[in-house]
Structure 1
């Protein structure tokens, strides 16, 4: 029988009382026991009781108070949304407006000051954990909102209900905890604003495991991450969920291996296209490890597919298999002639994990949500195929959305920001080719006064930093006197990719 999120949070509160000495969260500089997790949750919950109504914005990075703040907001019956301290003020303001936030929980004193009612969690004293419970009748209540890049130039919010997340937990928690490393600590590298962190955090804590929260100040330092993973010998790392880009970073350090981390035995990898060469390097460093190929959009609580890759799959060619749909999920293929269970076309996901809409409600992409055979459905925009065994493979996108380091990015949002700079007539954002020495995104500019070269590029880069989060910043900006056009008079993106994508 499926468990509600209310029952899972009851289990977590019980763990805060019965496993008081066990480590729950492990950061770079400090850690928090399950008892401490309960006391911090109670302190923030008490502070919220006097705050104005509305959603809770949690503003910080990966401080020990971030998870208690999320728990406190949930027990207070408020949905939460997280904004990282790296976000520019304009981005934070858009999130506040879209979610109609009523209160800010600042877990980092460096977080931006806003006009909203603000609670600095670091100033709150611990309180004795009382009987915090969720009402099981409120499973359709909002759990959290994540934000992704918007094709309209404005980021769009993706609300996830308690019921949608509970549907994910029903199959993903036992898979993760039942894996080769599932009795040990889990490792979370994702930003707290990224949906991958939501599947990491609660999957581990509901099961009473320890959780490593890798700090993004060490993004370019695999040795620092390894040092953190060795900081608590009584909580050895057993499982890790990450993007291909993060695994590539870690594999640059020869100490990322089974000799250094002998209990690290199971990996979940997804969020963007995965190269076999990367997985073979991972298997070489961790012989016999489980490599789970994962897939799923934020609109469906992050993960809908998780498939252990065999040696044959790693030695094969073409898109890597994602296996069949998991419990409660269904995959349909829009072949252009209607929905089918097999074949090639746009992938449509159906079932209890599927969300209902984007925020704001008038966002044009809300047309991607619907109902199929009495169940919620979502058009993913992914072009893929389902074979006769029910196994899914993804071939690419049918639109201008790309993934960089696991983050979904609408190229149009970058372009719309760039053309706000005086003198820029056209801007085209591209994802660099895999063979390019420039990783990530390339922005090509055309307009007046661009003979100023570096000065103009610097001005554009400063404007982008003030309007976009760091993960959307182009790795390279180039100036072009003309942009190739198609016969229909539109920018020829294929020609642009050939000319600039490998620059």
Structure 2
């Protein structure tokens, strides 16, 4: 099933070389141009025979070419976005025992130490795309490993096999093609996230071009809109993003069906979706289908994509029935299924479930299992099913939050902050607005409080954390409040949040 999907991309390089494959800030990129870069990377992979590639980049042509080349050559990979420091790249390489680092742009070379396994792809000459058939692969071979945060401060990887992704694409690709036989899908997510992978691979396999919005425009809706409308040959037809990014886009009154008349399908997921956003989108894009999307990274991108119709602001937004061959149960901690209406942990069964975490010793691997020959994943999400089997979420059971579409373990930020030499105590608190995390505030008690040391803590976090995990504000305390058990009193911290202004950098 996966081979058929990938072969459809290979065939497009030969059948429609002048057609637009990507729309980027520098202009449209044809299949012919992209194919030359893919073939150049394929040549490198053929010479080097790597067992695992780490790709360091954002949305450059060579970053995209690296993903496709690894896919065609049956080489598993993990993408590290260019917003991360090299220390993060080195951590990811170590976790996966990677023997090949591919740089999506020459500018990243200065961040990396010299190594025979580090390759500046810009130095590779274009090559005519000659690949006709992809390398044979086993269904359970790893397609990609998506690296997420880990509670120990060390990244962990989620292994997604070819077969797992193929089961996802089987139903998701059909939705894209049913919406537009030859359209353009809008990508906002970084390619280091599963949402970015599905934006790229499934769209190209479904006869779509991909419009790649750069993250430098995250707070610039008009710039994004200009990019979306500049290429008349590739009109935007479908969209996948977090609700936060859509809310940002809606700040521009021109983000509507007058500017984007072909945009008729929205997938919205990754965090809480507000009724106000649904109303705004329904007003601005009255012909569009809005789908409420859900699915942990560990279950190959998305398991639910429920059409949103009229909603009651006072009720939870349904995620509907699972798509494809996925099956959902609500269970107690010991695995006992709960009746409809009872709140418990959401457990996902089926072929989309990944094959666990890297390293194999990671303690969270207990969340994966097999029952009656069927793989399952205990999500940590709390929710319930109604009598029809529709899923409703109630929150998380642990210290994970969703912020700006990224899943973050708060204890990882605290672990890194605690390793700063001048920090004696610290805690991170999320700030909510309408069930959505809008800020992360780091409370810290310093050994030697001073503006210099306060800034040094911020610099320490930026060196050792991905950009999306750096807290948005800091509050420095002379004494961290403790509870009766000698632990940091987070309830008191919430009260302290309002007593003085926080520091931002």
- TMscore range, shorter length: over 0.9
3-state DSSP class of the match of 1:348?
strand
What residue number does 2:349 align with?
350
> For each residue in 1:70-119, what CA deviation from the matched residue of structure 2 results, as whole angstroms up to 9, or x when unmatched?
11112222101111222112111100111111112211111132435233
Q: How does 1:388-407 map to 2 (within 5 A)?
A: 388-407=387-406
Deviation at 1:287, TM superposition (A): 2.1
Secondary structure at 2:48's aligned position in 1?
coil
Stretch of structure 1 that moved more, 103-112 or 136-145: 136-145
1:426 alignment counterpart: 425
- Aligned match of 1:190: 189
- Counterpart Cα distance in 1 of 2:454 and 2:434: 24
Distance in 1 of aligned mates of 2:366 and 2:72? 32
Residues 240 and 268 in structure 1, CA contact (< 8 A), matched pair in contact too: yes
More displaced stretch, 166-175 vs 147-156: 147-156
Which residue is 1:44 aligned to? 41
SS at match of 1:65: helix
Quick one: distance in 1 between partners of 2:321 and 2:102? Answer: 40
Q: Flag structure 1 segments of 5+ consecutive residues without an equivalent.
A: none
**Matches of 2:38 and 2:339, distance apart in 1:** 45
Structure 2-normalised TM-score?
0.93
TM-score, length-scaled by structure 1: 0.94
What CA distance in whole angstroms lies between the structure 2 residues aligned with 1:219 and 1:344?
Answer: 36
1:288 aligns with 2:287: yes
| Structure 1: distance between partners of 2:422 and 2:43 | 52
Partners of 2:270 and 2:294 within 8 A in 1: yes
Between 1:488-497 and 1:213-222, the stretch displaced more is: 488-497
Distance 1:493 1:347, change over 3 A: farther
Distance 1:382 1:438, change over 3 A: closer
2: CA distance, partners of 1:59 / 1:30:
22
Q: Secondary structure at the match of 1:110?
A: helix
Partner-residue secondary structure (3-state), 1:152: coil
Give the match for residue 108 of structure 1: 105
Residue 424 of structure 1 contacts residue 447 of structure 1 at CA under 8 Å; is this kept in 2? Answer: yes
CA distance in 2 between counterparts of 1:300 and 1:501 reads 39
| Alignment match, 1:161 | 161
Find the counterpart in structure 1 of residue 447 from structure 2.
448
Output the aligned Cα RMSD: 2.0
Q: CA deviation at 1:487?
A: 4.2
Q: Secondary structure at the match of 1:439?
A: strand
Q: Which residue of 2 aligns with 1:147?
A: 147
Equivalents in 1 of 2:190, 2:74: separation in Å?
A: 24
Tell whether the 8 Å contact from 2:295 to 2:301 is kept in structure 1 after alignment: yes
**Distance verdict in 2 for CA 1:495–1:302, change over 3 Å:** farther
Sort the Cα spacing of 1:437 and 1:171 in 2 relative to 1 into closer, same or farther, 3 A.
Answer: closer
Q: Give the Cα–Cα distance (whole angstroms) in 1 for the partners of residues 436 and 15 of structure 2.
A: 52
Task: Please give the alpha-carbon distance, in whole angstroms, between the structure 2 residues aligned to 1:42 and 1:405.
Answer: 35
Q: How many residues matched? A: 495
1:26 to 12, 23, 27: 23
Q: Which residue of 2 aligns with 1:121?
A: 121
Does the alignment pair 1:481 with 2:473?
no
Instruction: Determine if contact 1:83/1:193 at 8 Å carries over to the other structure.
Output: yes
Aligned-partner Cα distance in 2 for 1:340–1:354? 21
CA deviation vs aligned residue, 1:152-198 (integer Å, no higher than 9, x gap): 2212111211111001001111123223x564210000011111011
**1:396 alignment partner, SS class:** strand
8 A Cα contact 2:181 2:207, kept in partner = no
Q: Summarize deviations over 1:315-352 as a string: whole Å, max 9, x none.
A: 34232100011121111111356124633101111110
Contact 2:79 2:192 in 1 (8 A): yes
For structure 2, list consecutive stretches of 5 or more residues without a partner in the other structure. Answer: none
Tell me if structure 2 keeps the 8 A contact 1:351–1:376: yes
1:294-313 CA distance string (max 9 Å, x none): 000111111000001111x2
Q: 1:276 to 1:156 in 2, by over 3 A?
A: same
State how far apart, in whole Å, the 2-side matches of 1:182 and 1:334 are: 40
In 2: Cα distance, 1:485 partner to 1:377 partner: 39
Q: Which runs of 4+ in 1 moved over 4 A?
A: 435-438
1:412-439 CA distance string (max 9 Å, x none): 0100111112231211111112179993
